[in-house]
Amino acid sequence: MSRTVVNPDTVFNSVQYGFSQAVIVTGQRRMLLSGQVGVDADECTVGPGLQVQTEAALDNVERVLAAAGGRLEQVIMLRIYICDTVREEQEVVAQALRDRFKIDPPPSSWIIVSGLSLPEWLIEIEAEAMLD
């Protein structure tokens, strides 16, 4: 897979928030991940806070990618759904993205929602990756 991020200086610096403006990819296998939330393998919510749920959701993204031979570096897009009740804590999400995607982070869209499937869930992360 060939992957080139696009962060022109004619738009705001999104890398400071842990994502790029765009990515150009070439490859043969595109992987679309279902939304991952802050649960463990037994479907138990990992904790009540946005930070712990964000880390768990990203761990789950990594696990699903790994099951197909993929890595976080191959992620080409993230869609992040954040509950309105924690919208003021978005820096937690940005820091988690900066920690996981240290070089050339993928583009992302952040959507504030009134709630997710279970009331204790605070974040859901969808990912797309190019594996080859």
- Write a three-state SS string for the chain: CEEEEECCCCCCCHHHHCCECEEEEECCCEEEEEEEECECCCCCECCCCHHHHHHHHHHHHHHHHHHCCCCHHHEEEEEEEEEHHHHHHHHHHHHHHHHHCCCCCCEEEEEEECCCCCCCCCEEEEEEEECC
Q: What is the model's pLDDT at position 37?
A: 98
Q: What is the model's pLDDT at position 87?
A: 97
| Mean pLDDT score, 66-92 | 97
Listed by start position, the domains of the chain span 2-130
Of 41, 55, 32, 42, whose CA–CA distance to 122 is shortest? 55
Query: How high does pLDDT run on average in the chain?
Result: 95
The confidence band for 113, taking pLDDT boundaries of 50, 70 and 90, is very high
Rounded to whole angstroms, the Cα distance separating 84 from 96 reads 19
Q: What is the model's pLDDT at position 26?
A: 86
Q: What is the model's pLDDT at position 81?
A: 99
The confidence band for 8, taking pLDDT boundaries of 50, 70 and 90, is very high
Rounded to whole angstroms, the Cα distance separating 7 from 22 reads 7
| Mean pLDDT score, 92-104 | 97
| Mean pLDDT score, 37-66 | 97
CATH for 2-130 is 3.30.1330.40
| pLDDT > 70: percent of the chain | 100
- pLDDT over threshold 90, residue 1: no
| Mean pLDDT score, 2-8 | 92
Rounded to whole angstroms, the Cα distance separating 93 from 16 reads 12
The confidence band for 28, taking pLDDT boundaries of 50, 70 and 90, is confident
